[in-house]
Each structure stands twice: as C-alpha cells, then as structure tokens.
Amino acid sequence: MSATDFLPPGLRLGVSPLSWANDVLEDLGADIPLETCLRDAAEAGYEGVELGRKFPRRPELLAPLLKGHGLSLASGWYSGELAERDVAAELAAVAPHARLLQAMGCGVMVYGEVAMMAPGAPLDAPMSRRRVMLPREVPGYAERLTGFARHLLGEYGLRLAYHHHLMMIAETFEEISDILGRCGPDVGLLLDTGHAVASGFSYTRLIERFGDRIAHIHLKDVRSSAMRQVRDRDASFNEGVRQGMFTVPGDGALDFGPLVRFAAGGDYRGWLIVEAEQDPAIAPPRAAVTRAFDHIRAAFAALPA
C-alpha cells in the first residue's frame, strides 16, 4: 500500500525542495544535503518532488537518484522572459530544461515570468516597486505565451503551467485573468494558494474562473500576521520569506477545504505540491512537511463519502 492511497485516482502528492533549500536565498539550507531532502520527502509519504537548485540536471544522474528513494519528478520551474523577447528566443532558451523534464516523464512545466521585474535584485526591492505590464502590451504577450505553450506541448509533451507570483506581472486576480483570458487553451494555470492570498484575493476565485485551465497546484499557506507586517513596512519578497510569511498547509490561515473539494471533484488530474519558502533553521523541514502531509490527508478524509 502507498501512503497516498487516500487520494482519488489521478491525483499525486509531492513536495517542493524549498523547505530544505531556497532557490534564491542560497544561505537558507546551504548546509542541508540533497540526500536529506529526498530521504525526508520519501519517508514522510510523498510520491514526488519538484526540481531545486541542488538537483543534478542530467537525466542519467537524476533518474537513479530519485528512483533510489521511490520518488518521481513532478515538474520544475522555468524562468521565462516572453514579456520582453520573442517565441523563437524563448524556445531556444527552454530547450535544455524541457528535454530534462521530458526525459524524466513530467507532464507539465512551471513557467514563471521574470522579465519586467524591478531592476537589480527584484526580490530584494520593496513590494511597491513591482513593475506592471501596460494594458496595450497584454495581447501581444498572451499571443507569444500561446505560441510558446503550443510548441512546448507538441515538441516535448509538456503542458505550460503559468505561475502567478508576487512581484511578477501576474500578481493580482485582474492581471492573471487578463493574461490567461487572452491565451489559447494550451496555456495552463499553476494555482498557488499562498501567492493568491498574499496578493489579496481568495484562491477560490481562480478555481471558479479557470478551473478547467489548472494544470498544476502548489499548496502553500500564509501566516497572516507576518504578511501584514511585510505589507505595512513595504518590505521585499525576500525579507518576507525570511520573516516567515509563507508556511506549509495547516500552519497558517488558509482553509484548504475548497481546494481539496475541487481536486477530488474529478476535473483536475495531476500533482498537488506542498511548498513553503521559509528558513529551515527556524522551521525544521522534515517535521514541517510531515505535518503538511497529515493535514492534507485529514482534509481528504473529511470529504463526504
């Protein structure tokens, strides 16, 4: 029997390595070996992981490493720049990453738009300095996204999962709706519960508006008091991470009941990824992701028979 037998058919539960080592703030988790992350994830009951900065990027190295722990690769973040460059340039840039995900049997690729961010170190800038895409630029951007996603699916068998994200051009519900609403159906949505709520709206609005477009899900919780302090002080995203504005499901203010009901309803098939960008010295990873696993299992167990 699998530890995730409580999940309905077609759903898989994974965990992000961000609980062990941050991809941007490299001092967070610098001393934690990749082996520790994989062992903890497997022993907590997770079926898979996403890519992190300590993972090898060659399938002949990554595949046996994950197999040794009984884990699959769920997906991996790609930093896209279609807000400022054309489809041909983006396809050339994505090729090594897409080939890796394809070789590892992934079905989706996480796309984060990193163009048009604040100059310098954008995630260290005050949140009020976020750059916003002009309305006249959105149609062309959506057209490029659609062409890119169509090629990604045709060439590599990967569905693009667009990640709405603090400090990026798709942060608010209106921005996400404007961009995704103009894209063709090949562009899927990554629903991130924490980034939605931290941006000021309920994640359930994305389920209601784009339920049929959701291609990947990140289960992230928010500590409301920490988030308010970050906003009140106009702190940076990275400072917010250090202050613990994000945490694992069950450790913050979010109700995951609506998400679980959506996932169990049959329209979504894919990964549910527990994710928390926080300091592992303050929030020991193994204990945190184990609590999250138990919280999600309890949420599914509470569904009506």
Domains present along the chain, CATH in parentheses: 12-219+255-273 (3.20.20.150)
Q: For position 285, what pLDDT does the model report?
A: 98
Tell me which DSSP letter residue 120 carries: S
**pTM, two decimal places:** 0.97
Query: For residue range 231-250, what is the model confidence (pLDDT) as tens digits?
Result: 999 999 999 999 999 999 99
Q: Which parts of the chain register pLDDT below 50?
A: none
Q: How far apart are CA 151 and CA 157, in angstroms?
A: 9
Task: Show the tokens assigned to 204.
Answer: 């359930």
Q: For position 118, what pLDDT does the model report?
A: 76
Q: For position 120, what pLDDT does the model report?
A: 75
Q: For position 147, what pLDDT does the model report?
A: 98
Judged by DSSP in three states, 305 sits in coil
For residues 190 and 222, the answer to whether their CB atoms sit within 8 Å is no
Q: For position 191, what pLDDT does the model report?
A: 98
Query: For residue range 281-295, what is the model confidence (pLDDT) as tens digits?
Result: 999 999 999 999 999
Q: For position 121, what pLDDT does the model report?
A: 84
Q: For position 1, what pLDDT does the model report?
A: 65
- Report CA-CA distances (Å) from 42 to 201, 298, 301: 33, 19, 21
Q: For position 79, what pLDDT does the model report?
A: 97
The strand pair at 48-50 and 108-113 is best described as unpaired
Tell me which DSSP letter residue 203 carries: T
Judged by DSSP in three states, 267 sits in coil
* Nearest Cα residue to 277 out of 33, 56, 53: 53
Q: For position 119, what pLDDT does the model report?
A: 76
